[in-house]
Structures are given as C-alpha cells and as structure tokens.
Amino acid sequence: QVQLVESGGGLVQAGGSLRLSCAASGRTSSNSGMGWFRQAPGKERNFVASINWNGRRTFYANSVKDRFTISRDNARSTVYLQMNSLKPEDTANYYCASNAVSFQDVPGTSQQDYNYWGQGTQVTVSS
C-alpha cells in the first residue's frame, strides 16, 4: 500500500504561483511513476502532469505546459508541482497519484494508469 498526502494549496491571485507537495509513504513509492490530476466543481478529473520513477521523463497537459513543472525528490519520497502564472481556470482540487508498477520508463497520463490517490488539495485562483 502507498499513502499519499498533498499540501500547498490555497488562494492566490491570477499571475501568482504556488507549489504543491505530495508526500508518499509505503512500499516502493520511490520506484513508481507519479502524477497530478485536477478536478473543478462539476467537471471531470483531468490529467495535469506526470513524472517517471527517476524523474527523467515528464509529461504535461497542453493547458499547463510552460507554466507548471513537476519534479520529485526520491530521498524525501515527495513529488512537487510548481505552478506559475496561475489563471482562474486553474482553480480546482488537485490530486496526487501513484502507479503500482515499479521502474516504468514512461509515466502514465490517464487515471487508469494509477492505483493510489491522495485526498486532494484545493487551489483557488482569483481574477
């Protein structure tokens, strides 16, 4: 089992920045691909970014490319999402997810690729 705890959400003005953290604990968490997804009220949960087990491969949704950066520190079992130039449309609950398969080179970009989920952290961007 893997436990995931997100933090770092909050209220920020448009154009501002936030850094989300996802602390992972449990078996093989540092060997797994990790992803961030978000869900706005009344909408589906959507892919934001993902990173493979060693941090060398990353993927981003087109809507956040060049504004968000995903990274990981395996020594701390933590994944980060640096969010810059935030827009009101980035407002959502952000979820961290972990893959149960170890040492995959390509991180997943769909919800079905992930087995463990955190509780989410709310990000609100005011205009």
pLDDT value at position 59?
A: 97
Q: At 19, is the secondary structure helix, strand, or coil?
A: strand
Q: What helix, strand, coil percent values describe the chain, rounded to 5?
A: 5, 55, 40
Per residue in 94-126, pLDDT (tens digit) is 999 999 888 888 899 999 999 999 999 999 999
Q: How is residue 22 written in tokens?
A: 């996802």
pLDDT value at position 26?
A: 81
Round to whole Å and give the CA distance between 43 and 47.
12
Q: How is residue 80 written in tokens?
A: 């980060």
